């Protein structure tokens, strides 16, 4: 679950047509990657966040954020959405254009494309000398391929012979593990470590249930709770721009989100050992307050989740 998921699904449903148009327009992958990096950097700047602060909010690290913004590393679609949601929740982001999220996702698709191969020239009848040259090059290519394959096989056998489990991790072992590239995993947190984090960027959204609900002024307010993370957040549906949703824990700071577009919105998380340790309320603009005060049974909560 993430901010304005309904809107994000609409963006992805209509992306393929615009993506095809962008590819036909001839934008190179490297140019798309660089443009995406500039856009992510501007989002972060508009939020008034450093790369380290942004990395903490989207569960990444500062070097990765830096490589995104320099166009050296292509972020996943989920990472782009997480950065956009952080920007959407920032009161310092004076300009909010949802089309920019679609633009960022399209740029990522274009950056994944391989450059188009040049059109082959019309074939001509090769001369005898040309045919002989090609034949020699083909023979040398075959010989080189066989040699490389043989060397690779010998290296594999040698490495596997030295890969003794009793020597793994000891000084001088030839089977030392090499670091492999990793993608930032879904965050794991518990209690106070979940404070101010986005549920969609953590494992908390996977086992979340609706613990309580409230309906008034045409809006619905839910208290969402993750037993695994011992954390809660507030969600409102059928709301309008200007409405606010808040979650208040017994211990800790209140988290709030002001609706800007769409109909659904939710707050960041607060620590809660039990659902009763947090309260979810919404302030419906020009109408009044509605809180999630009606408990939801375990069966109904599992169905709602």
Q: Which residues of 18-40 are buried (b: 16+ CB within 10 A; e: fewer)?
A: ebeebeeeebebeebbbbbbebb
Residue 27's pLDDT is what?
56
> What local confidence, expressed as pLDDT, does residue 25 receive?
45
What domains are defined for the chain?
5-112 (1.10.260.40), 191-304 (no CATH)
Q: What's the confidence (pLDDT) of residue 115? A: 54
Helices (H), 99-194: 99-112, 128-162
Question: Tokens 């166009």 identify what position?
Answer: 71
**299 three-state secondary structure:** helix
Cα 219 to Cα 244: distance, rounded to the nearest angstrom: 11
Give tens-digit pLDDT for 17-72: 444 444 444 457 889 999 999 999 999 998 899 999 999 999 999 999 999 999 99
Closest CA to 254 of 288, 274, 281: 281
Give pLDDT < 50 ranges for the chain.
1-9, 11-26, 116-117, 161-184, 299
pLDDT for residue 130: 64
């Amino acid at each position: 679950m993430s901010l304005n998921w309904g809107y994000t699904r609409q963006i992805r449903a209509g992306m393929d047509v615009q993506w095809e148009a962008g590819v036909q327009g001839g934008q190179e992958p490297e140019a798309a990657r660089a443009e995406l990096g500039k856009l992510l950097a501007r989002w972060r700047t508009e939020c008034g966040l450093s790369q380290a602060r942004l990395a903490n909010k989207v569960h990444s690290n500062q070097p990765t954020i830096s490589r995104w913004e320099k166009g050296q590393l292509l972020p996943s679609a989920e990472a782009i959405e997480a950065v956009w949601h952080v920007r959407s929740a920032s009161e310092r982001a004076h300009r909010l254009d949802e089309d920019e999220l679609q633009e960022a996702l399209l740029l990522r698709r274009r950056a994944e494309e391989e450059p188009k191969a040049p059109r082959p020239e019309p074939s001509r009848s090769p001369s005898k000398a040309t045919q002989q040259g090609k034949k020699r090059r083909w023979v040398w290519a075959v010989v080189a391929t066989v040699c490389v394959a043989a060397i690779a096989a010998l290296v594999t056998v040698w490495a596997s012979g030295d890969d003794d489990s009793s020597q793994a991790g000891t000084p001088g072992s030839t089977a030392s593990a090499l670091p492999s590239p990793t993608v930032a995993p879904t965050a794991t947190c518990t209690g106070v470590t979940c404070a101010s984090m986005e549920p969609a960027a953590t494992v908390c959204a996977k086992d979340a249930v609706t613990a309580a609900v409230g309906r008034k002024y045409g809006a619905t307010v839910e208290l969402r709770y993750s037993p695994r993370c011992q954390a809660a957040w507030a969600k409102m549906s059928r709301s309008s721009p200007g409405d606010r949703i808040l979650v208040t824990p017994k211990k800790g700071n209140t988290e709030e989100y002001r609706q800007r577009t769409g109909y659904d919105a939710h707050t960041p998380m607060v620590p809660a050992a039990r659902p009763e340790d947090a309260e979810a309320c919404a302030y419906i603009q020009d109408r009044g307050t509605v809180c999630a005060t009606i408990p939801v049974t375990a069966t109904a909560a599992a169905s709602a989740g």
